[in-house]
C-alpha cells in the first residue's frame, strides 16, 4: 500500500514501530501472529523484551495506552485480529475510556474461568500436542522452526484450513515432509511472504510465541475480574460497556479473514466507523477454531 509513513515511537519503555496513513479520526489496527501491521512488542521492528512477563495483558495494555497518548488523542477506533484482538478486549476491559469503538476480527471475548488455569484446561481437552501447549516451553518449538525455515513456517501457518484444534507433534510440528513444496494461499503473494520472512528473521518467533507463554499469567492478572462473571453472562457487560449490535459471520473462510477477504472486511470496518453509534462489531469466520 502506497503513502504509508513508518516511524519509531518510544512507549512505556520500549521502541515501537508504527505505520501511519491518512488523516481524520485515529483508527488503531492491532495485528496478531504472524502478521506485521502496527507492531506489537516482539514483532518486526518493535523491540522484543526477553521476559515473558513483558507480554502479559496488563503490560501490553499499558503499551497501547502509551501509544494512544503518543498520538495525541484520548480515544481511538480499534480494529484488531488474532492476538491483537485478545489484547483489544483487555484494553476495552481495563481502559474502556480510551476506546471509542471496537471492530474485532476472529477472536470473540472469552470470560475468565476461575476453576482452572487455561493451560491445564487446554491440555486436558486437547493433549500435549495442541499447538498452544507446544508453544509453552521457551526455545523448544523455535528449534523446529529454525530447522524447517521461516518461509515454510509462515506458509504452513497461513495455509491452515482444517477446522478443529491444530496439533503440532514433536519432531515434525508443522508436518512438513522433506523437500515438500508448500503452496501459498491465493490471497498471499510471494512479495508479501518475503516481507514477512525478512521481518521475522530479524528477531525470530520468540516474541510472538511469548504471548502464548503468558496465557496463565494473564489468568492470574485478571483474577479480580472473576467477580463480574455473572455481570457478563447476564447481559450487564453488553448493556453498560460494549453495545454489541451485530456479529458478521463469513462462510468458507479461514482464520486470516482480514487478508483472505480484505476488501469485504475493509468495507465492514469503513461502514461501521462511518455510521458509528457507540456499538461494537464482531466479525468471525464460520467453523473457525479460535484461541
**Sheet of strand 244-250, all strands in order from the earlier edge strand to the far edge:** 27-30, 76-81, 99-105, 280-285, 244-250
Provide the β-strand partners of residue 244: 280
Measured in Å, how far apart are the chain's first and last C-alpha atoms?
Answer: 29
Main-chain phi, psi angles of 40, to 5 degrees: -80, 160
> How far, in Å, CA of 46 to CA of 41, rounded?
6
Residue given cell 469503538 in the structure block: 101
Q: Could you give the residue numbers annotated as active site?
A: 82, 212, 255
Whole-number Å distance between alpha carbons of 199 and 6? 14
Torsion of CA 270, 186, 170, 115, to 10 degrees: 20
Report how far residue 169's alpha carbon sits from residue 236's, in angstroms, rounded to the nearest whole number.
Answer: 42
Q: Quick check: 202 and 48 in contact, CB under 8 A?
A: no
Residue 170, classed as helix, strand or coil, is coil
Cell for 237? 457487560
Closest CA to 212 of 124, 82, 81: 82
Spatial distance between the Cα atoms of 98 and 78, rounded to a whole number of angstroms: 10
Cβ–Cβ under 8 Å, residues 225 and 110: no
CB contact set of 2 (below 8 Å; sequence gap of 6+)? none
- Strand 14-20 versus strand 5-11 pairing type: antiparallel
Amino acid at each position: 500500500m502506497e503513502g504509508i509513513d513508518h516511524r519509531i515511537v518510544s512507549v512505556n519503555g520500549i521502541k515501537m514501530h508504527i505505520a501511519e496513513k491518512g488523516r481524520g479520526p485515529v483508527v488503531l489496527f492491532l495485528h496478531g501472529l504472524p502478521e506485521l501491521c502496527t507492531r506489537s512488542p516482539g514483532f518486526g521492528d518493535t523491540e522484543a523484551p526477553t521476559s515473558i512477563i513483558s507480554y502479559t495483558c496488563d503490560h501490553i495494555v499499558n503499551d497501547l495506552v502509551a501509544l494512544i497518548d503518543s498520538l495525541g488523542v484520548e480515544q481511538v477506533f480499534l480494529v484488531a485480529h488474532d492476538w491483537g484482538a485478545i489484547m483489544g478486549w483487555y484494553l476495552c476491559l481495563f481502559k474502556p475510556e480510551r476506546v471509542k469503538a471496537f471492530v474485532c476480527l476472529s477472536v470473540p471475548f472469552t470470560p475468565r474461568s476461575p476453576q482452572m488455569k487455561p493451560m491445564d484446561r487446554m491440555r486436558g481437552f486437547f493433549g500435549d500436542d495442541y499447538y498452544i501447549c507446544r508453544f509453552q516451553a521457551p526455545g523448544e518449538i523455535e528449534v523446529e522452526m529454525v530447522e524447517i525455515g521461516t518461509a515454510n513456517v509462515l506458509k504452513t501457518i497461513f495455509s491452515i484450513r482444517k477446522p478443529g484444534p491444530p496439533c503440532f507433534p514433536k519432531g515434525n510440528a508443522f508436518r512438513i515432509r522433506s523437500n515438500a513444496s508448500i503452496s501459498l494461499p491465493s490471497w498471499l503473494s510471494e512479495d508479501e511472504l518475503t516481507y514477512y520472512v525478512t521481518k521475522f528473521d530479524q528477531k525470530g518467533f520468540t516474541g510472538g510465541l511469548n504471548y502464548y507463554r503468558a496465557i496463565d499469567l494473564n489468568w492470574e492478572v485478571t483474577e479480580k475480574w472473576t467477580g463480574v462473571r455473572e455481570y457478563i453472562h447476564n447481559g450487564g457487560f453488553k448493556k453498560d460497556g460494549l453495545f454489541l449490535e451485530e456479529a458478521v459471520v463469513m462462510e468458507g473462510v479461514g482464520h486470516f479473514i482480514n487478508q483472505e477477504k480484505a476488501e469485504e472486511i475493509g468495507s465492514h470496518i469503513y461502514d461501521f466507523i462511518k455510521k458509528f453509534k457507540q456499538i461494537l462489531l464482531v466479525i468471525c469466520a464460520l467453523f473457525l477454531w479460535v484461541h
